[in-house]
Structure 1
Amino acid sequence: MNTKVIVAGVGMIPFTKPGTNAPYDEMGSEAARMALADAGLSYEDMQQAYVGYVYGDSTSGQKSLYKVGMTGIPVINVNNNCSTGSTALFLARQAIASGVVDCVLVLGFEQMSPGALNSVFQDRPSPFDPFDRVTAELVGMPQLPLALRYFGGAGLSHMQKFGTPIDSFAKIRAKASRHAVNNPLAVFKQVVTAEDVLNSTMIWPGVMTKLMACPPTCGAAAAVLVSEKYAKAKGLNAGVYIAAQAMTTDKPSTFESGDMMRLVGYEMSKEAAQKVYEESGIGPDELDVVELHDCFAHNELITYEALGLCPEGGATKFINDGDNTYGGKVVTNPSGGLLSKGHPLGATGLAQCFELTHQLRGTAGARQVDNAKVGLQHNLGLGGACVVTMYRAA
């Protein structure tokens, strides 16, 4: 697969709290139109569409895109938990890179309900059964919602291994808020301090407070991918391209290692990142900006190490030195991340693409990372799948 894949257009609507959103099909169609307009193309130019969402009936992708156009093209619906948006992006990139098509629309949206995530189908085995079993053995806490047990348990594992203090997680959340204040599309734009985070409602004593968890969010984002040949023929903006991409899923060690960090995808993230570094010839020390999956502050911290942004056990120093923000080694989540920007599951991967595309174009406004030329995207879904994507400015 030697065809260079260009990100020709991106679109994203403001993320909102559940109950204040438009229906999913309206959100999705709006984001799709924005990406098409940004690319300077019409829906009639699209040869395929990949649409990601988690909470929705089958063919919700068609329901959304039929509001944009009805051209008879393949519309593929994608569901891969929280990595849904980047999985759709992965499939679209493969289609272009393999030479099957030249122009593809990728869309992600989510219409969520208030409160913690829950399984929808109660009359069949849950894909999380093995995750729940290991979590029950390692950390207990059955009174907590599943996502809090998983990622809080991973954070606790890091604390026990490396002496990580809880205020490291608080500093990550505070950093997210400082970044989000410059993002008009973020759901939370109020700046909070590390002390504010630590003083918020304690969910898991000594491990997690309420502000360390991302909120349920509604929203949509989209991208138009094209081949380099197509971009040149149409005179499109070819300023940003995907230099490498990898997708990984769980191995037996996820459940056999007795490590909550591995249960929530540490090894998947590490392996996907390594593949991307090798394919692109770009190492973690060369990154300018990273959008990573901070569904909890705890996951951002362990992901620093999985992506090689700092050594294993070095995350607290990385945070304390300010190497995760402006003026440091690499700006992480300039958008505010999932913690402040919000996390509409199916849209998150495309929202990360939106942010990195604007960063590498130099059009990110007040949150622009100086001279950003190389960006990395990390999107994780339990169950499980991890997609890591390297973007470069042409």
Structure 2
Amino acid sequence: MVQGRKVYVVGVGMSKFIKPRGLVDYPEFALEAAVKALNDAGLSYDKVDFAACGYVFGDSTSGQRVLYQLGMTQIPIINVNNNCSTGSTALYQARAAIAAGNAECALALGFERMKRGFITEAFPDRTYPLDHVQAVITDERSWDKNTGNAPQIFGQAGIGYMERYGATEKHLAQIAEKNHRHSAKNPYSQFRDIYTLEQIQNSPKVYGPLTKLQCCPTSDGAGCAIVASEEFVLKHGLMDQAVEICAQSMATDSPKMLGKENIEWAGADMTRKASQEAYFKAGISAEDVQIVELHDCFSANELVTYDALGLVPEGQAHKLIDSGDNTYGGKYVVNPSGGLISKGHPLGATGLAQCTELVWQLRGWTGERQVPNANYALQHNVGLGGAVVITIYKKANKKQSAPKTAYNPAVEARAITKEDFALAASQKANRAEYMDSVGVAKL
């Protein structure tokens, strides 16, 4: 498989994930993430020659609406919608542009402004993209019209794993307990409360074994990454803070998703394929990874994904939990950020928030939630319908870098200032006309 040129992440940033109350609009929090990423890299928007913007709920060209605030520089801007894997799909596009030699510095941005409650069909007057999965579940089990679609699909995958391999409802609750505990040390998390196992088990039932505290919340927020070629990194003196994307792979569903095995209904097989390809490209195995940001939209998906990623032999995901090898002091630290369950899940932003956390971890910036002696980090971002992106990162330089900003953004979630914006915005493009017509997000 041809990898193309080396690609490095040189800047990351995100907004704090918040409850979806409509108090802040997407141009504001998406701009915040982009400015933070550019400030982190010490670059202005003039250096960016390609951008991919991901969001699920929004009108076309919302990416342009955000980035025009930094300058109308006429670069290509692509808008991406790939369900919950949208953020990583934007990163995939940006990395591919660099690897192919079509850009030297690219920006991947993900953002989402959501509604409260379960996600429902946005366009009920046309074919539902997951109607085939819904039909299979209806035939093989049952479909509850009064419950959200995602809890049923992922919940059934967890039920299948328990039925086949002997995992229990307690194991699902233990996953949620871990992730809520991890999020207490992440200033960007929507929820930072720690819950006991009993509190998680006794919270309201959502579907099957899944309780409310085992399900990700809907959220508003944004994440951003700046990626660049090796030539660009060396030219701008960024190697000390650069993190290499040493492998990335995307896959879609196999026919297993349409079979009778409910473990497969949430797309586990595409995770198997993409992770195997990524390990091959990187020249490593799962044994070499220390940190994992895993798409835990529900605790059931974290359970089945341990297996699909090859972190354990087939059928032994619950043994990883029993051994404590999914948290600090164990073999892997899975979701040091708190994961989707506690950090939140603004669909388009999630993949780039995962990237941000892993870059901070490999730089050694994350303070109390730091994973010690980390060399490789694995990112798993999945969307039903379906697509999964697996990305493997490694530190480019063993030298310890320090933040270019006046504070450490990995341990403190500050708002951007006018000075931050001025450093990030285009220094060449005349922004006055655009700023006068639509305004720039409040600073």
Q: Normalised by the shorter chain, which TM-score bucket?
A: over 0.9
Structure 2 residue 256 is the aligned partner of structure 1 residue 219: no
Describe the superposition over 1:289-341 as per-residue Cα deviations: whole angstroms up to 9, x where unpaired: 00010000000010000001111211111101100000000000000000010
Query: Which runs of 4 or more aligned residues in structure 1 lie more than 2 Å from their structure 2 counterparts after TM superposition?
Result: none
Bigger mean CA deviation after superposition, 42-51 or 229-238: 229-238
Give the aligned partner of residue 273 of structure 1: 275
1:15-26 pair list within 5 angstroms: 15-19=17-21, 21-26=23-28
1:1-394 pair list within 5 angstroms: 1-19=3-21, 21-142=23-144, 143-205=146-208, 207-237=209-239, 238-255=241-258, 257-394=259-396
Query: Is the 2:247–2:281 contact (alpha carbons within 8 Å) kept by the matching residues of 1?
Result: yes
Bigger mean CA deviation after superposition, 324-333 or 193-202: 193-202
Query: Matches of 1:139 and 1:82 in 2, distance apart?
Result: 25
Query: Is the 1:31–1:222 contact (alpha carbons within 8 Å) kept by the matching residues of 2?
Result: yes
Query: Matches of 1:68 and 1:132 in 2, distance apart?
Result: 43
- Letter matched to residue 182 of structure 2: H
Equivalent position SS for 1:392: strand
Larger radius of gyration: 2
Query: Matches of 1:113 and 1:20 in 2, distance apart?
Result: 8
- Letter matched to residue 167 of structure 1: K
- Any gaps of 5 or more consecutive residues in structure 2? 397-443
Q: Tell me how far 1:82 sits from its aligned partner.
A: 0.1
Q: Tell me how far 1:349 sits from its aligned partner.
A: 0.3
Query: Matches of 2:229 and 2:242 in 1, distance apart?
Result: 13
Q: Tell me how far 1:67 sits from its aligned partner.
A: 1.4
Query: Matches of 1:54 and 1:126 in 2, distance apart?
Result: 15
TM-score, normalisation: structure 1:
0.98
Bigger mean CA deviation after superposition, 279-288 or 76-85: 279-288
Q: Tell me how far 1:2 sits from its aligned partner.
A: 3.0
Query: Matches of 1:202 and 1:125 in 2, distance apart?
Result: 29
TM-score, normalisation: structure 2:
0.87
Query: Matches of 1:109 and 1:2 in 2, distance apart?
Result: 28
- Letter matched to residue 252 of structure 1: P
Percent identity, aligned pairs only, is 50
Query: Matches of 2:57 and 2:11 in 1, distance apart?
Result: 26
Describe the superposition over 1:44-97 as per-residue Cα deviations: whole angstroms up to 9, x where unpaired: 111011000000000000111111221111110000000000001011111101
Query: Matches of 1:141 and 1:194 in 2, distance apart?
Result: 29
- Letter matched to residue 150 of structure 1: I
Query: Matches of 1:223 and 1:339 in 2, distance apart?
Result: 22
Query: Matches of 1:21 and 1:141 in 2, distance apart?
Result: 35
Give the aligned partner of residue 402 of structure 2: none
- Letter matched to residue 268 of structure 1: M
Q: Tell me how far 1:20 sits from its aligned partner.
A: 5.9
- Any gaps of 5 or more consecutive residues in structure 1? none
| Alignment coverage as a number of residue pairs | 392
Query: Is the 1:21–1:219 contact (alpha carbons within 8 Å) kept by the matching residues of 2?
Result: no
- Letter matched to residue 146 of structure 1: N
